[in-house]
Amino acid sequence: MSEFDIAKIAAKALKGDTVAVSKLIRMAEEEDPQVYAALKHLYKHTGRAYIIGITGLPGSGKSTIVNFLIKHFRDVGKSVGVIAVDPSSPLTSGAILGDRVRMLEHSKDSGVFIKSLATRGTYGGLSRSTLQIANIMDAMGKDIILIETVGVGQTEASIMNSAHTTVLVLVPEMGDYVQTIKAGVLEIGDIFVINKTDKRDPAELKSNIESLIRHNSQSSSGKFWEQKIILTSGLLKTGLDELTAAIDEHQVFFNDHMKEQYLEKRLVQEIEDEVLNHFIAFCRKNLKEMILQEDLMAAGAIEEKNPYRISERIIEKLLNLIKE
Amino acid sequence: MSEFDIAKIAAKALKGDTVAVSKLIRMAEEEDPQVYAALKHLYKHTGRAYIIGITGLPGSGKSTIVNFLIKHFRDVGKSVGVIAVDPSSPLTSGAILGDRVRMLEHSKDSGVFIKSLATRGTYGGLSRSTLQIANIMDAMGKDIILIETVGVGQTEASIMNSAHTTVLVLVPEMGDYVQTIKAGVLEIGDIFVINKTDKRDPAELKSNIESLIRHNSQSSSGKFWEQKIILTSGLLKTGLDELTAAIDEHQVFFNDHMKEQYLEKRLVQEIEDEVLNHFIAFCRKNLKEMILQEDLMAAGAIEEKNPYRISERIIEKLLNLIKE
C-alpha cells in the first residue's frame, strides 16, 4: 500500500469509518510496519480518551465487570472502545465463554467498538499492538477505552502501564495469589475489586489487601492515591455503582496529580517501541531466508550448528544490508 | 572485559567453577551482550542436560513439586540445575515464600545449582535469558535442568518451548482456569499434575482434563504422546513416584520421536533471539541519550511530540550510526 493510500485510510478512520478503523487495527495486530504511517497522521487527534485497564486471573469475573462498565459508560452518553487481550492467545485462538459472548452483544451498538487480540507476538509485540490500537480508538473519537488483560505477568504489566486507571479484579479464593504477588498487586491496582462476594465471604482477602495498602501508604511521600477496595457481585449486581464512583474519583486524581508524569513515560515507551519494532521487523523480514541458507539439520559437527556463531554471521549480513 | 577474559571465565565454568558460572549467569540475566562470547565457547559442551519445565498458577504448589524433583534426581545420582522464574518479577523483587526457602536449602548441596530470575526485561528478554542460563548450566555438566514458571502467559509459553518435558501443576479449584485456557493447557502440558488432592476432590477437574485430552488425541496423527494426569498431594506425599515414572516415560518418548524436530526449532529460536538481541541492545545503548535530546516535556504543539515522527528521526540517526 502506498503512503497516499494509508493517509486516505487514516482520514476515513478519523471520521469514524469502522471499515477503515478495522483495517488499521488489523495492521497493528499483525505488526504490519505500515501502520506507523497511519499513526503518524492520527497521533495529533489522540489524547482525549480515558483508558481504563481491567486485569485479573481467569475465573475472577473480569468480563462481567467489563460488560457492566460498557453499559454504564454508554448510559451516561460516552462512546467506548474495548481491547480484550485474550488469555489463551499465546497458544491458540481463545475459547469464547459466556461473558465474552455477552460482551459481543454490545458490538451491535455503534457507540461501542470491540477488538479481541489473540496475537502470538513476542518481543513486546502484544503490548505494542495494544498501545497502537488504543491510539487508533482514541483518534476515532472513543471517549473511554477499556483494556482487559489476564493476570499480572510481564506482558500484562507493560500493557497496564498505558492505562490511566487500573482495576484489579480478584475473588475471595485468591488469598494465596495475592500473597505471592504482593508487590505486584500494589503496583498494578488503583482500585481493587473483590468479585463474586455472593459465593464466599470476602472479609479475609479484604483485610489482607488492606494491610498491604496501609504498608504502602506509609512508605509513600507527597501526593498519593489511596487505593480503594470495592466488594462486588456480578450475579447480585451489588457494588457496581461504588466501582464507577471510584473510577470517577481516580480520574479526577489522575488529572490533578499524575497526568504529566504519565504522558512523559508513555511517550518514551511509544518511541522506544516504535524504534525497536523497526529493527525487529527488518531482522524478521530477512531472518527466515538467512536461517534457511544455514541448513541447520544437515549432517555435521555440533560446532557447525552453534547458534551463537551462526547468529554472528547473520548479524554481519544484516549490517551489510543496511550499509548497502 | 576482553574476549580473552571471557574465554577464561567460560573455561572455568566448564570445569564447574561456581563463581565463574554465577558470573556468566548474572551476565545473561542482565542482558549483557558479552555473554554471547562466552556462549560461543560453551555451546559445543551443551546438549546433554534434560530440561523439565514446571508451570502452574501461584498457589498450585509448584515449588513443592520442584523440591521433590530436586530430591528425587539427587537420590538417583544426577546433578540438578534449577531456574525459578519468579512470579512478581515484572514488578518488584519477589516475595520469598516457605517453599522457595525450602528450595534454597538444596543449594548447600554442590550437586544442585539454583538461580532465581527476577528480571524486568521486555522484548523477549526473560525468555532469552532463561534459554542462555539453561545452556550455561548444561555446559557446566548439570544432568537435569528444572525451569519453574508461573501460569501460561506469553513469556511462559515461550520459555516452556525450550523444555523437553513440560509439567503443568493444577489444583482441584482451578476448573474455571482450565476451561478458559483449554487449548493452552493441552499445548503446554505433557504431564498434568493435580496437586493438593488432600484439600479437595480432584474428580471433576480430572474428568474435565480427560475430555480435553480425548478430543486432542482424536485429532492427532502419527505418533503422539498420550498426556498423563497424575494426582498428587505434597502434604501427604502421594503420587510423587507416579510423577517421576511419567517423566521417565516421556523422556523415552521424546528421545524416540520428538528430538530432531525439537532441536531444529530450538536452534532457530536461539539464532533469532541472538540476532534480535544484538539490534535491541544496539538501540537501547543509544536510545536514552537520543530521547533526552528530543526534550519531550518542553512546551510545544502536540505534533512536536508525535512519537511516530520522533521515532522516525531516531531510526534515521541509528541507521547513520551503523553506516559510519
Nearest CA in chain A to B263: A297
Say whether both A185 and A253 belong to one domain. yes
Cell of B136: 550455561
Burial (CB count within 10 angstroms: exposed 0-12, middle 13-18, buried 19+), residue A143: middle
Residues in chain A with CB shorter than 8 Å from the CB of B268 are 291, 296
Let me know if residue A115 belongs to a domain. Answer: yes
Let me know if residue B8 belongs to a domain. Answer: no
Say whether both A296 and A162 belong to one domain. no
Query: What is the per-residue pLDDT for A98?
Result: 44
Mean pLDDT of A79-107: 59
Say whether both A200 and A308 belong to one domain. no
Contact B57 A59 (CB under 8 A): no
Mean pLDDT of A176-198: 78
Contact A95 B182 (CB under 8 A): yes
Query: Which CATH number goes with the domain that contains B60?
Result: 3.40.50.300
Query: What is the per-residue pLDDT for A87?
Result: 47
Nearest CA in chain A to B280: A276
Query: pLDDT-derived band of residue A153, with 50, 70 and 90 as boundaries?
Result: low
Let me know if residue B31 belongs to a domain. Answer: no
Say whether both B189 and B287 belong to one domain. no
Q: Looking at the partner chain, which of A59, A180, A318 has a beta carbon nearest the beta carbon of B58?
A: A180
Residues in chain A with CB shorter than 8 Å from the CB of B87 are 180-181, 184
Q: Looking at the partner chain, which of B183, B279, B287 has a beta carbon nearest the beta carbon of A88?
A: B183
Task: Indicate the average pLDDT of chain B.
Answer: 84
Query: What is the per-residue pLDDT for B303?
Result: 72
> How do A228-231 and B144-150 pair as beta strands?
unpaired
Say whether both A224 and A118 belong to one domain. yes
> Which parts of chain B have pLDDT scores under 50?
87-98, 218-221
Residue A148 backbone phi and psi in degrees, to 5 = -105, 120
Q: Looking at the partner chain, which of A267, A291, A303 has a beta carbon nearest the beta carbon of B44?
A: A303
CB distance A276 to B124 below 8 Å: no
Please tell me which residue, A188 or A200, carries the higher pLDDT value.
Answer: A200
* Alpha helices, H only, B166-226: 175-180, 182-188, 203-219
Q: Looking at the partner chain, which of A179, A183, A270 has a beta carbon nearest the beta carbon of B307?
A: A270
Compute CA distances B38 → A294, B3, B13, B14, whole Å.
22, 8, 10, 11
Say whether both B113 and B186 belong to one domain. yes
Please tell me which residue, A211 or B193, carries the higher pLDDT value.
Answer: B193
Pairwise CA distance, residues B112 & B218, whole Å: 41
Residues in chain B with CB shorter than 8 Å from the CB of A156 are 153
Residues in chain B with CB shorter than 8 Å from the CB of A123 are 123-124, 276, 280
Residue A31 backbone class (left: φ over 0; alpha: ψ -120 to 50; beta: rest): left
Say whether both B241 and B313 belong to one domain. no
The angle formed by the CA atoms of residues A15, A18 and A23, to the nearest 5 degrees, is 110
Residues in chain B with CB shorter than 8 Å from the CB of A296 are 264, 267-268
For residue A140, pLDDT beyond 50: yes
Query: What is the per-residue pLDDT for A32?
Result: 85
Q: For chain A, what percent of residues have pLDDT higher than 70? A: 84
Residues in chain A with CB shorter than 8 Å from the CB of B279 are 279-280, 282-283, 315, 318
Other beta carbons within 10 Å of A153: 26
Say whether both A280 and A253 belong to one domain. no
Please tell me which residue, B122 or A225, carries the higher pLDDT value.
Answer: A225
Sheet holding B228-231, edge to edge: B112-117, B80-85, B144-150, B50-56, B165-170, B191-194, B228-231
Pairwise CA distance, residues A189 & A169, whole Å: 9
Let me know if residue B165 belongs to a domain. Answer: yes
Let me know if residue B25 belongs to a domain. Answer: no
Contact A92 B183 (CB under 8 A): yes
For residue A89, pLDDT beyond 50: no
Task: Indicate the average pLDDT of chain A.
Answer: 84
Other beta carbons within 10 Å of B322: 13
Pairwise CA distance, residues A188 & B323, whole Å: 42
Nearest CA in chain A to B125: A123
CB distance B231 to B206 below 8 Å: yes
Contact A291 B272 (CB under 8 A): yes
Say whether both B184 and B317 belong to one domain. no
Let me know if residue A20 belongs to a domain. Answer: no
Identify the weakest region by mean pLDDT among A30-34, A149-153, B98-102.
B98-102
Domain count of chain B? Answer: 2
> How do B112-117 and B228-231 pair as beta strands?
unpaired
Pairwise CA distance, residues A209 & A165, whole Å: 18
Residues in chain B with CB shorter than 8 Å from the CB of A279 are 279-280, 282-283, 315, 318
Query: What is the per-residue pLDDT for A121?
Result: 56
Query: What is the per-residue pLDDT for A103?
Result: 62
Domain boundary among the residues A214, A229, A257 is at A257
Let me know if residue A39 belongs to a domain. Answer: no
Mutate to test the interface with B, among A168, A181, A309 (most CBs of B within 10 A): A181
Q: Looking at the partner chain, which of A92, A157, A312 has a beta carbon nearest the beta carbon of B184?
A: A92
> How do B191-194 and B228-231 pair as beta strands?
parallel
Say whether both A156 and A84 belong to one domain. yes
Domain boundary among the residues B224, B257, B290 is at B257
Q: Looking at the partner chain, which of B39, B93, B180 has a beta carbon nearest the beta carbon of A308?
A: B39
Query: What is the per-residue pLDDT for B119?
Result: 55
**pLDDT digits over A278-294, tens only?**
999 899 899 999 999 88
Helical packing angle, B307-323 and A259-293, nearest 10°: 40
Query: What is the per-residue pLDDT for A33?
Result: 81
CA-based end-to-end distance of chain B: 24
Please tell me which residue, A144 or A280, carries the higher pLDDT value.
Answer: A144
Let me know if residue B114 belongs to a domain. Answer: yes
Residues in chain B with CB shorter than 8 Å from the CB of A306 are 40, 43-44
- Nearest Cα of chain A lies from the Cα of B259 at a distance, in angstroms, of 12
**pLDDT digits over A155-170, tens only?**
677 788 889 999 999 8
- Nearest Cα of chain A lies from the Cα of B100 at a distance, in angstroms, of 11
DSSP string, B264-318: HHHHHHHHHHHHHHHHHHHHHHHHHHHHHHT-TTSS--GGGG-HHHHHHHHHHHH
Domain boundary among the residues B203, B222, B257 is at B257
ipTM of the complex: 0.83
Say whether both B155 and B103 belong to one domain. yes
pTM of the model: 0.82
Say whether both A211 and A317 belong to one domain. no
Cell 551482550 belongs to B33
Which of A4-8, A168-172, A214-218, B139-143 holds the top average pLDDT?
A: B139-143
Pairwise CA distance, residues A211 & B247, whole Å: 42
- Range(s) of the domain holding residue A103: 44-257
Residues in chain B with CB shorter than 8 Å from the CB of A189 are none
